[in-house]
Amino acid sequence: MFAGKVVVVTGAAGALGRAVFEHFADGGARVVALDYSDELLDSAFPVKDSMHEYRKVDLTRRDSCQLVLSKIIDDLGQINILCNVAGGFLMGEAVHETSDETWDFLFNLNTRSIVNTSSVVVPQMQKQGGGKIVNIAAKAATQGFANMGAYTASKAAVMRLTEAMAAELREQQINVNCIMPGTIDTPRNREDMPDADHNRWVPPSQLASVIGFLASDAAAAVHGAAIPVDGLS
């Protein structure tokens, strides 16, 4: 389905990132895995396929994104699909107690990263006549929750950025959409919530399938959507 396509996946060393990487790789794409250290990438991908690329980048810095993504475009000639999977989660502080560190961490990783990657990838997609961008919001972004203000605000911002980008780029054959996961069935979440009913959570592979749909030709008419993918949670 994705043969001949170049797909960039940020946060590729994480549980969802790996599932997204595998989904596109299985579909025949050349996938570029991005994360913030070589050690993380080596741990997530101990056996590297020469068809794919594995590169470190600081997504919170525009200069780092420009350097790495421009090199990818130079080396591979194009970027057809951008999956902004990287993100962070913190909770525990009331809004009036939110530290600068918490606020900056969440907004830099969850929202600034999208602006930084888009600053390089969107102009390339405009030149090549189209592309697909999929962002990761959250089910929790649909309302505020106590002691999660900074997180829910940052993910709500992802939804608004997605809608704005879709309105700006749809006439140029660039589709921008996002998904809103509920609780993802990852080893870390199982460790943190051992007594939960894990069968109600969403496996990363199922989220990857929805991302794959939004990045496919089948979703050519979909612009600015925020799709809940929350299983039974």
- The count of C-alpha atoms lying within 13 angstroms of the C-alpha of 175, restricted to the half-sphere facing its C-beta, is 22
Between CA 17 and CA 214, with CA 35 as vertex, the angle to 5 degrees is 35
Strand partners, 32: 8, 53
Nearest partner of 52 among 71, 28, 77, 16, judged by Cα: 28
The C-alpha torsion from 209 through 187 and 230 to 7, rounded to 10°, is -30
151 is catalytic: yes
Q: Which of the residues 141, 151, 152, 153 is marked catalytic?
A: 151
- DSSP secondary-structure letter at 185? -
Distances (CA, A) of 42 to 34, 47, 54, 76, 103: 11, 8, 9, 22, 29
- Catalytic residue numbers? 151
